[in-house]
Amino acid sequence: MQEKLDILKAKLKTIHDVNYAAAVLGWDQQTYMPPGGAAARAEQLSTLSKISHELFTADEIGELLSDLAQAGFDYDSNEASLVRVAQRDYDQARKLPPQLVEEMSRTFSMGQQVWTKARAEKDFSQFQGVLTKIVDLNIQAAEAYGYEESIYDALLNQYEPGMKASEVQSVFATLKSALVPLVQAIAENKDAVDDLVLQQEFDEQTQWDFGLLPLQAIGFDMERGRQDKSAHPFTTSFSVNDVRITTRLHKEMIGSALFGTLHEGGHALYEQNSDQALEGTLLAGGTSLGVHESQSRLWENVVGRSKAFWQFYYPKLQDFFPAQLKSVSLDSFYKAINKSEPSYVRVEADEVTYNLHIFLRFELEQSLLNKSLRVADLPAAWNAKMEEYLGMTPPNDALGVLQDIHWSGGMMGYFPTYTLGNILSLQFYSKALQDIPDLPEQFSKGEFGALLGWFREHIHRHGRKFTANELIERVTGDAGIKADPYLKYIKQKYSDIYQL
């Protein structure tokens, strides 16, 4: 068995190297690549994707996995986990014909280029053609994967293994019933908070320089990662020891970089803290996007938008921007960064209304996939739902249907994981707080090591060894995702801020 395990590991290592190489090409594509490189890059990514897929779906891999499933490794061991997770990935990968994989890769890569231009020019019509193809390819993929209840399940399963659209609908319904009255209560008391302090110009380089302080303080290791700029912030890994994040800087929107950096930093901490024994294997990284998002939202919101965090960092931020901030109190600043009101752009949305943006996308994706909505009608449908959920219509496509990169990169069924992440961040954090009750006091001294250590121990180091549900049960004792801690947190925080 040891020999078979070694053969499997060597084969998976080659595949992993190819996947990591593709990730480097993807990173460059979004950070530094000149426009002229787009066409060739799409071809290169398609070729790497095809090679990886062919190597991974070889019959021999399946045979090795079948044999090794009988090896009797301890469930928690790296060996058993490798075989178990590889088998799950293998079963998924075998379902897609190589032709489709290659076409998806090429189309999705080109889609991002088209989207970038369309977004810059605020013009959905440029993007409509390739998006139509992307939806069609996703439908083809979903049919190939297969599903029991809904076509959406097949795609959601790529990001949140085992989760069903009906479950998402049910959790989302619980959230809606609590959030809609909260949004209403806030609207009725909206004068309690203003964010005039944020409506100033903040030098971009100074924003960048400041952002590096909390990023490193929460534990992002600059020797094993780096930050660059891109149109849409993201995190990607080429190794446990080379994790890249990006941020974007806008003079008139300091919050974008401040919280974007913490958000991607949270993703990066999960990636950088996989056990080194998992390096170069498919067990490194995060187990599901919901759990991944729980880490980013934790550092962005639960920590990064807390009063305690800014008790430490606000005086420093004032030093970086004395002209803008020296006469503004911590309390005003804290309220400003937590101001809740309907807005156009998901990534700039506050914690309360954020989930409404997700409900909208989740519903539109379902309609596109079950063909009750045509891509040509998507901008109108988007705007209608914005009116329904947030009471406002985007003035242009860049602030509307073109704002997110996901669809352009082929990712459908992904959005719900953001709200699942919001919920999970509190499900985990409330447990961490039971174990380490003085966490907020630590934050107020600029100390984040205990919280990072807790997550490293309970979640990060395991990489993909355990599923989201296994992790939730091991860490919290809960049988699955539970909205209560999140709703308790959000109601308490906003009742306090808005004096409800």
- Applying CB under 8 A, the residues found at the interface with a copy of itself are 13-14, 17-18, 20-22, 24-25, 27-28, 32-37, 39-41, 43-44, 46-48, 50-51, 221-226, 228, 238-242, 279-280
Identify the residue whose tokens are 């619980």.
174
365 is catalytic: no
Facing residues of 226 across strands?
A: 244
Distance in angstroms (rounded) separating the CA atoms of residues 2 and 53: 25
Treating both helix axes as pointing N-terminal to C-terminal, what angle do 125-145 and 151-159 enclose, rounded to 10 degrees? 90
Other Cβ atoms less than 10 A from the Cβ of 474: the count is 13
CB atoms near residue 263 (< 10 Å): 24
Residue 291 CB, nearest distance to a copy of itself (Å)?
23
Is 252 exposed, middle or buried, given 0-12, 13-18 or 19+ CB atoms closer than 10 A? exposed
Q: Count of CB atoms within 10 A of residue 186's CB?
A: 23
Nearer to a copy of itself, 95 or 248 (CB): 248
Helix (H, G, I), strand (E, B) or coil at 126: helix
Shortest Cβ 123–a copy of itself spacing (Å)? 20
Give the closest residue to 255 by CA, choosing from 295, 299, 198: 198
- Smallest gap from Cβ 244 to a copy of itself, in A, equals 8
d(CA 246, CA 264): 7
**3-state DSSP assignment of residue 302:** helix
In the complex with a copy of itself, which residue's Cβ is closer, 27 or 172? Answer: 27
| Cβ atoms 325, 197 nearer than 8 A | yes
Question: And the tokens for 39?
Answer: 């066409």
Find the catalytic residue in 160, 264, 271, 300: 264
* Least separation in angstroms between CB 96 and a copy of itself: 19
Kindly tell me which of 14 and 199 has the beta carbon lying closer to a copy of itself.
14
Q: What is the CA radius of gyration of the chain?
A: 22
H-only helix segments in 352-415: 354-369, 378-390
DSSP 11-46: HHHHHHHHHHHHHHHHHHHHHT--GGGHHHHHHHHH
Least Å from the CB of residue 280 to a copy of itself: 7
| Residue 35 CB, nearest approach to a copy of itself (Å) | 5
Q: From residue 361, how far is each of 227, 364, 389, 473 by CA, in Å?
A: 28, 5, 11, 29
Nearer to a copy of itself, 49 or 126 (CB): 49
Give least dist CB 231 to a copy of itself, A. Answer: 16
The whole-angstrom separation of Cα 104 and Cα 141 is: 9
CA angle 290, 291, 292 (to 5 degrees): 90
Asked if 369 and 414 count as a contact pair (C-beta separation under 8 A), the reply is no
* Nearest-approach distance from CB 375 to a copy of itself, in angstroms: 29
The string over 149-178, giving b where at least 16 C-beta atoms fall within 10 Å of a residue's C-beta and e elsewhere, is ebbbbbbbbbbbbebbbebbbebbeebeee
- Nearest-approach distance from CB 142 to a copy of itself, in angstroms: 28
Nearest distance, CB of residue 54 and a copy of itself, angstroms: 11
Dmax (CA) of the chain: 69
Nearer to a copy of itself, 239 or 467 (CB): 239
Q: Say which residues have a Cβ less than 8 Å from residue 380's Cβ, sequence separation at least 6.
A: none
**Rounded Cα distance, 495 and 340, in Å:** 12
CB closer to a copy of itself, 67 vs 228: 228
Residues belonging to the active site: 264
